[in-house]
Amino acid sequence: MKQFSFLDWPIYKDSRDFYHFCINLIKRLPREYEFTLGNQLIRSSSSISLNIAEGSAKATKKDFSHFLSIALGSLYETLANLDLLRSSGFISQEEFDLSKNKASNIANQLGGLKRKLTP
């Protein structure tokens, strides 16, 4: 297997793009929320792609699948954070719907990859 092959995977690229999407939303937060809600959103959204990358280096399919499960949990956490921003009026319903569509795409890819790893 090619070293660092995860860099070429659509799921990694989509999760990285989702992280950047979240960063752009955070930049608009009032200063007093940047280090609370903003920091939590940065950590959860970055965790998605980081766990995909880390899992790709594991020796067994079971270990890789575990990291994909963690990435999925981080995806759900990220969407919950975005819902908090929406319900607080920091992002619009349209922005939340767009983020939900992006999250759904990533969740589907994570599920598909996990299925490939299961015998």
pLDDT at 1: 55
Please state the pTM of the whole predicted model: 0.93
CB atoms within 10 A of CB 117: 16
pLDDT at 33: 84
Return the CATH number at 85. 1.20.1440.60
Taking the C-alpha atoms of residue 88 and residue 82, their distance in angstroms, rounded to an integer, is: 10
Q: Which residues of the chain have pLDDT under 70?
A: 1
Report residue 69 as tokens.
């499960």
pLDDT at 3: 86
CA angle (104, 54, 65) in 5-degree steps: 60
Domain count, the chain: 1
Structural domain that includes position 31: 5-117
